[in-house]
Structure 1
């Protein structure tokens, strides 16, 4: 304390400071004068001033990422009924993938410890417990303790009955599925598609799990060949002229005016033409129809950036969606056949220019495309395949709580 007293006593205070009220300075334990005091002006207090923190700089807003940016730009154009299908797919992803994976296992069972590691195959996020997702569907999945004292995962008896019903639907729709495969091969560039690609997208078209075994029953339509890469591919044997009619051509024959309004390929012309609305519509009709048929056979030979080539690609995507069960597909399904159907990386921008026919849902990185005419105003699919009706029933049972069945 001596050095403190020495410090205070050696300050030469002005007369105004000496007249301050008691207690005297020597007895004051606070060595720091208030900044408002007259004494503060006669010695430096810079060592008391703390550094003022820099103001928090507002982060620059990052541009929207395709991972999060919605496929439709303006809220007024969003169709919440169709958007709900994307949410439904995410909600039932565990059900869909687990059903497919377990159906391929011996006796339709899987050890629970192994199931917890197969998060990709079973459709649940990594790091989550599978029991959490099993509890969501108690009427379809069950766990039981085997003789090895390990917990195993399997289907309930009710779910096994549903799988038998689904197999009977697959058998009854076999000819329809064969026609779909034929049309896909007829649209492809080399009339050949790898079997792995068709099998990967089998749920999209309603093909059974044993699709690769069933195609050998139709040697007059298909044959399995081994490509230069060593992979097996399905090749078309005979061209079926009766199947070479696209859904667009059928619509055109029924309602020509409606088909003409379905697509728009406007002509790029100078502004000094000074066309009124009627003349512009007439000029644009010249480049609207007819579309190039996806079964033309030589569509892949067109100039890649020509208007005819774009019409061809639009027609291919439209016919592809028409062959699906729910008249919709995700970008992953479309990209699967990118080489076979001569599609480009600008498919998203191409379809975005046709809002009268296609609706894009989801995000720009993971978007789905719908055929708008296939759905009514309430978002219900107009023409439902028996497999679609079964899937809707399965989802209803999956939402039931324990004891509600």
Structure 2
């Protein structure tokens, strides 16, 4: 919460200087879905050719929702995914600039590094920085030299507090990595995969170097193909307890309802609701621990499916925000013994998981970790830090838009 108060205090000065700034951007709750009409609502008003063209676009994986039934969509989860998509470019820029000396880059070189900075080819870096005036600016050091792309003092202070928080949370992050290794096949994961998913677990950018400080827990090996792999040194039985197992004693009824593995039966076997629930409980329980050896299970057996579902549940419970994009989960396909039917497997567990986003890029949410309004039940300190940074990004974009409109209105009044 300290990060949110810090960022809000920095941004609240915008409201005093500019009363037109929308104060709703400073609220921590996820915003609802946009109230503007969707493209599908325009179809009846178009011609035949335009209607066919638009309908084809709506069926594209880039646009089509991963949730086929519109009545079952949860707007607060969809809003979180939409917000992440808007901030993904500035997040890449932040990660890249934070690793450079002085946190700055010559503007002439920034355009060539569009992929590393996270914005599309052809986008002007100066325009990109103007969209986030609270986070990025273009100073000249010295004044008569060429401009640089650099962080603002506000962003530098946010980075310093982020580093201090990561240092304080280092023991918890070490435990997270140990548990990840314990649920993986062979108790080993390539370092490149962990580095790719480091933001999910709150790991620092120099995580690959910091693991060498813990020789009692980790060992770095080199595969024949040259990959550096992180291996678990010693198994810890105290850590081999899943989130569901911890919750079983205080809330047994909820844990029993989390998963559902049904027994298919024909209509010739009429069952009442209570009888069907008892029948399904015979196959649902007992669950298979994600810390067991999944290689010993038959690939297409019921126990193997229980194991894979449990592994994904435990993987999501180890993340900061209790959610992950599908490409993060597929990244560990070999380590978690996942199959190509992961999507269908998750769809069969609507009580435990919610899928949000488009068919091309969708996220998996751990439903029990969220309240009805889409906020997390238990927040990691780094979540408040990221919330403060995201508020700064939204405020910067809105502030930049407002000042552009004011400048345009002034030019129109002057007849320019």
Matched, 1:255 2:251: yes
Give the 5 Å matches for 1:1-400: 64-147=59-142, 149-296=145-292, 298-400=293-395
Higher helix fraction (1 or 2):
2
Aligned length: 349
For each residue in 1:181-239, what CA deviation from the matched residue of structure 2 results, as whole angstroms up to 9, or x when unmatched?
00000001010000011011100100011111111111111010101211111000010
**What are the superposed Cα offsets for residues 314-338 of structure 1, whole Å, 9 maximum, x if unpaired?**
0000000000000000011101111
Query: Which one has a bigger Cα radius of gyration?
Result: 1
The residue number in structure 2 matching 1:35 is: none
Question: Over the residues paired in the alignment, what is the CA RMSD in angstroms?
Answer: 2.1
Equivalent residues of 1:94, 1:133 under 8 A apart: no
After superposing on structure 2, the runs of 4+ consecutive aligned residues of structure 1 that deviate more than 6 Å are 55-58
Q: Is the 8 A contact 1:246 1:319 kept in 2?
A: yes
Q: How far does residue 126 in structure 1 lie from its aligned partner after superposition?
A: 2.3
Q: Could you tell me how far apart the structure 2 residues matched to 1:171 and 1:293 are?
A: 32
Distance, in Å, in 2 between the alignment partners of 1:204 and 1:181 is: 12
Query: When the two structures are superposed, what TM-score results if normalisation uses the length of structure 2?
Result: 0.80
| C-alpha separation in 2, matches of 1:161 and 1:370 | 31
State the Cα distance separating 1:112 from its structure 2 match: 1.2
How far is the alpha carbon of 1:68 from its aligned partner?
2.5
* Distance (whole Å) between structure 2 residues aligned to residue 58 and residue 107 of structure 1: 53
Q: Deviations over 1:39-72 (max 9, x none)?
A: xxxxxxxxxxxxxxxx989969659343332111
Q: Is the 8 A contact 1:360 1:370 kept in 2?
A: yes
CA distance in 2 between partners of 1:131 and 1:374 (Å): 40
Q: Offset of 1:94 from its aligned partner?
A: 2.2
SS at match of 2:231: strand
Gaps of 5+ in 1: 1-54
Gaps spanning 5+ residues in structure 2: where? 1-47, 403-416
Partner Cα separation in structure 1 for residue 110 and residue 305 of structure 2:
46
| Alpha-carbon displacement from aligned partner over 1:17-37 (angstroms, at most 9, x marks no partner) | xxxxxxxxxxxxxxxxxxxxx
TM-score by length of 1: 0.82
Aligned equivalents of 1:274 and 1:79: distance in 2? 33
